[in-house]
Chains A and B, each alone.
Chain A
Amino acid sequence: MKLTYNWLKEFVDLDLAPEALSAKFISLGIEVESLTRLGDFSGVVVGLIEKIEAHPNADKLVYCTVDAGKEKKLNIVCGAKNMKAGDKVPVAVDGAELPGGFKIKHTKLRGLLSEGMLCSSKELGISEEADGLLILPSDAPIGKDITEYLNLKDWLFSLEILPNRPDYLGIIGVARMLSASLKIPLKTPEIEIKKTDGKAASEVKVTIADKELCPRYTARIIKGVKPGASPLLMQLRLKFAGVRPINNIVDVTNYVLLELGHPLHAFDKKLISGNHIIVRRAEKGEKMTTLDGVTRELGADMLVIADEQKAVALAGIMGGNNSEINSSTTEVLLESAFFDAVNIRKTSKTINLSTEASFRFERGMDHEGMIRALDRAAYLLQKYCGGEVCEGIIDIYPEKIKARKITTRFDRVRKLLGTDIPDGEMLGISERLGFKMLAKDKTGFTVEVPSFRVELDREIDMIEEIAQVYGYEQIKERTPLISLTSCIPQTSFEDEVKRALVGRGLYEAVNWSFMAKSWFDKGGFPAGSPLREYPEILNPLTDEWNVMRTTLLPGLLANTTHNVTRFGNRNLRLFEVGKVFLKDSAGKFSEHKNIGIIATGLISDPGWAESPVEADLYYIKGLVESVLASLRVPYELLEGYEGEAYEKGSAVGVSINGKTAGCFGELRRNLLKAFDIKQRVFYSKLEIPSMEAARTGTIKFTHLPKFPAIKRDISFIVRKNITSAAISAYIESLRIKLIEKMTVTAVYEGDNVGKELKSVTFAIVFRSPDRTLTDKEVDDLNNSIIAGAAEKLGAVIRK
């Protein structure tokens, strides 16, 4: 909500400077979005447009002769449309400085010299809307400084009002809180209605057909109004608040809405047929055109204000154009009603129309304060529109809304707040806030909640009220005594996973949980792919994020495109630990925590002393295996694994507890191409829950060996299709108990071994747990391995 400092001062005698007031607002829980000094410009004066001529070189511009009180008339080029010769407008003359530091100088505009600028309210910082030149009253003195003329020595506060304080949606509510907190009196707005002959009750009849949705409806009749422009100050204040001035009658209702927070509506009474207002639900399919010119089809849950023939307003949201105030209006039916908050909110959501009125009604309005708003508006119609207010208020109030009572215990307040606030202070605060004291004793007190505080009905609400006025800075900090819990897990498995990967030189990524449905088509994934079982977002912000991710690959691939393709950082080793989301055929959603790893380019940072090694299948394999081993997760690798994202024949599955719980391999070239990646990329996916479920207990220490080992290298020259696994399987088949460990230490292909062949070197470690082995027995074992190799593997042993 926006209000100015001077306007607020009409309700409470502040002696705080605007900046100090801003701090006060924050301490009262009213967020100050901005504080702007108004009239923060110079060199703008009242000018009279004497003549308007066409601009010879531009259709959209005109050439004006302006009397700005200077020796010489000014020639000014202008693009606005809403003025005519004889109008008075603000003129920024040579040397003027507008808000934002914009300086005005003599300038040639399409060939003609412009000696200044005619200003709109937006250019003077009065409104946010650009709505043509600000036309001033005809008695505005030519040449007068506009800041003085408009009395712009003021400050504009833009306040953010939280949903629990609808009372702050009127200036009076804010003033009331300041009055209680600063202990200064609240001033109520002037209302002096003159006695006239007319009687409201004999003018119009009101029937409430649905008292659930409209518990109270009040109205006044004002006759003899003369539609026209509202006073300049009123127009300015409306503009400051972001409300567009329309005419004096509508402006009065909006002005009172801003002052007192209660929405009002003015009907042209002569357009109400049968002089009968009926508050009823709309017929299903009933149509009405609202003031914004939109014809809307209504539902049976929506409340309308109708006459005997037609709906004339959408209750609490917007009036109808069939009963709109117009230039020939003479009699006004002024409505101040109380509508059900939830119903207004539902209707507003359904028809997607939120207005100043609906915003307030859906937060809950003051069922007593509505009368003062009605009276205040009637008074202003009398004052500014020449209206004569008929005697009496039509007040249809089928069931009086009961005042809420709250009992508060002194000790409870002190216990919950942890302060020693005295009883008397609590009573004083409650009274200053407008609570009516019904009873009090040694233990506590009972108050009646004022009607403008619609959200309060519990002791805790009173505790908060008291605490806010007492001051949160008075709350003394204390550290609670915490009893130790014997067993709290110290690290999560996820933390360990991250540590294992960071420890192996990878960077951690955090990507969006959203992705584009179209990603799967772009990446060439088959139509029936299980990855397409995504939960869809029904109200996505963009098509790029219209489903939840079912795989971590899109994010990591996007990171690869970003770093490798866009920023030329070709060495990338990234991982992410995060959730993927699925929707099953029954429509049930599930979430699964995965690890995604992506590697491309060099596997370690390049430097002068390092020999560059490109990521390959063995990098990702070694990484996955070493991470699984370090996390003590038993696994098996599955040859011939088919993954939709991988190059054919490059992928390996990871089976944990007999279930496929991961994979790794080289990503498809055409997938990479679709995302502008021109180098080989390796990827792995692992499922955290399966890993965590399978992990074995703590680290088990193995005693160090007492006797030395003997090592032998054997180079098997075999056909290329013999795998290293086949060689180790052969060695294992010999069941040599003294083999402690064997590892592949070299693989060689090339001229020295022949075209069809390769050499695979195994380092075999022999050790006995209870004695020192002799060279002779190790040689015998080694020879036994060599002996069978020719027959079993077709191998030749390289010497």
Chain B
Amino acid sequence: MEKELEKLAGEIAAAVNAAKTREELEAARVKYLGKKGALTAFFDKLGSLPKEEKPKAGALLNTLRNKADALLGEKAEGLESCSESNALDATLPGRNFSTGRYHPLTIISNEAKEIFKSLNFQIIEGPEIESDYYNFEALNFPPHHPARDMQNSFHLGNGMLLRTHTSPVQVRTMEKQKPPLRMITIGKCYRSDASDQTHTPMFHQIEGLMVDENINFGDLKGILKVFFSRLFEREVNIRFNPSYFPFTEPSVEVSFSCHVCGGSGCSVCKKTGWIEIGGAGMVDPNVFKSIGYDSERWTGFAFGWGIERLAMIKYGINDIRLFPENDLRFLGQFE
């Protein structure tokens, strides 16, 4: 019987090996291990064997059956993956991950905050309902000065208005802190201008201020270069054109060399090589005076521009009115 079993083991191994499909493998299993299979038949014979042979034969049969099972199992695993009838449709889309989105204005604000934090600037917040003093007077906009026409304000009564820029936060910060100081603030501003593709009566500004001994006009250029280069992940140059803001002098209009073409001219920069972004300047001594800083000892610079404008430049958004609309098809693009 031992020999017969050895032969059977060989047959089983060959049959399993030869099987090319799960069906052939199943046929092989039935042929040897099925109810009427060849190996089963040996088990049936076991009862008729003499008592003393039974344990040894039983052990042999069990070993053989375990081996056969293992062979079949192994083979089945191999066949499973290439059997067409049972294949998964891997072209079906994967399961959805319902991820959230930051508003693009938050994304840009966060990037700006990260850069300025790395430059050791504090991040400060201020009120959106402001007094005339903080919004204008302390910033060297005297009452009845035509410069006030540059920023049409919404009035709430009791001498209060919606801040037209984030600059009041400069004054509030300087009132509380002694120089040297470095701060930025980001927040909503309001101007009573009608909406169009580049204006909305509510918008966001980032404002920065640095005061120290020996701060000069070149430092302003340097800090702005670092900021815009990091934000657009490309080394840019800064261009200053003269401008006017009552709270800085000299005042400048800031442009950076186009982050897309590098300054050679493209559609993004309207072939000029430069992108205009906002205002800046050296803090006007009158502002220091209203705070009580000694303008002989301390000098500083301030800068500010629209977060919307920055986002429009960075993402190529063509209409500022998309920001407050909160259309999911818009928000969904800023992952």
Contact = CB atoms under 8 A, between A and B. Distances in A.
A468 interface: yes
A1 to B, nearest CB: 14
Contact of A480 (B92, B202, B219): B219
Interface residues of A, number: 90
A472 interface: yes
A501 B129 CA distance: 27
Given A416-B217, A418-B216, A562-B325, A610 B96 contact: yes
Contacts of B22: none
Contact of A506 (B95, B96, B100, B327): B100
Given A418-B217, A475-B221, A482-B119, A163 B147 contact: yes
Contact of A539 (B105, B154, B160, B243): B154
Interface stretch (B11-19, B27-35, B234-242, B261-269): B234-242
A512 interface: yes
A477 B101 contact: no
A514 interface: yes
Residue among B222, B225, B240 with most chain A CB within 10 A = B240
B217 A498 contact: no
Contacts of B328: 507, 563, 567, 569, 572
B51 interface: no
B147 A164 contact: yes
Given A475-B218, A510-B326, A589-B129, A502 B101 contact: yes
Contact of B144 (A342, A419, A572): A342
Interface string B129-155: 100000000000000111101100011
Interface in B210-254: 210, 212, 214-219, 221-223, 225-226, 238-244, 249-253
A415 B212 CA distance: 13
A414 to B, nearest CB: 9
A480 B212 contact: yes
Contacts of A488: 117, 120, 122
Interface string A336-347: 000000100110
A165 B98 contact: no
A573 B201 CA distance: 27
Contacts of A162: 150, 243-244
Interface of B is mostly: mixed
Contact of B226 (A346, A479, A588): A479
Contact of B218 (A476, A506, A514): A476
Interface in A446-493: 458, 460-461, 463-464, 467-468, 472-473, 475-480, 482-485, 488-490, 492
A241 interface: no
Residue among B97, B103, B223, B253 with most chain A CB within 10 A = B103
Interface in A559-606: 559, 562-563, 567, 569, 572-574, 578-579, 581, 587-589, 591, 603-606
A488 B116 CA distance: 12
B180 interface: yes
Interface stretch (A23-31, A70-78, A277-285, A774-782): A23-31
Contacts of B241: 26-27, 29, 472
Contacts of B250: 417, 463-464, 467-468, 472
B128 A513 contact: yes
Interface in B248-290: 249-253, 282, 284-285
Interface stretch (A530-538, A628-636, A731-739): A530-538
A607 B95 contact: yes
B244 A29 contact: yes
Interface stretch (B1-9, B72-80, B186-194, B312-320): B186-194
A631 to B, nearest CB: 16
A591 B282 contact: no
A541 B192 contact: yes
A579 B125 CA distance: 12
Interface in B176-190: 180, 182, 188, 190
A536 B242 contact: no
B324 A511 contact: yes
Interface in B76-122: 92-103, 105-106, 110, 117, 119-120, 122
B331 interface: yes
Contacts of B329: 567, 569
A362 to B, nearest CB: 6
A608 interface: yes
A29 B282 contact: no
A163 B192 CA distance: 19
A685 to B, nearest CB: 17
Nearest to A467: B250
B326 A511 contact: yes
A469 to B, nearest CB: 10
A581 B129 CA distance: 9
Contacts of A536: 156-157
A417 B218 contact: yes
A606 B217 contact: no
A460 B285 contact: yes
A468 B217 CA distance: 12
A197 to B, nearest CB: 44
B327 A504 contact: no
B202 A512 contact: yes
A439 interface: no
Interface in B154-173: 154-158, 160, 162
A14 to B, nearest CB: 19
A472 B36 CA distance: 100
Contact of B146 (A362, A485, A489): A362
B150 A163 contact: yes
B182 A482 contact: yes
Contact of A587 (B105, B129, B158, B188): B158
Contacts of A708: none
B182 A472 contact: no
Contact of B129 (A490, A569, A591): A591
B332 interface: yes
A165 B244 contact: yes
Contact of B219 (A464, A479, A504, A578): A479
B218 A345 contact: no
Given A476-B218, A479-B222, A479-B226, A579 B100 contact: no
A231 interface: no
28 contacts: A162-B244, A460-B249, A460-B282, A460-B284, A464-B251, A467-B250, A468-B250, A472-B240, A472-B241, A473-B239, A473-B240, A478-B218, A480-B210, A488-B117, A490-B117, A498-B106, A505-B98, A505-B100, A507-B100, A507-B331, A508-B102, A509-B326, A510-B106, A538-B154, A548-B156, A589-B156, A608-B92, A609-B94
Going nearest first, the 8 A-B pairs with the smallest beta carbon separation are A29-B242, A418-B218, A418-B216, A502-B100, A477-B221, A472-B240, A162-B244, A604-B98
Given A562-B325, A609-B93, 4 more contacts: A417-B217, A475-B240, A537-B155, A538-B155
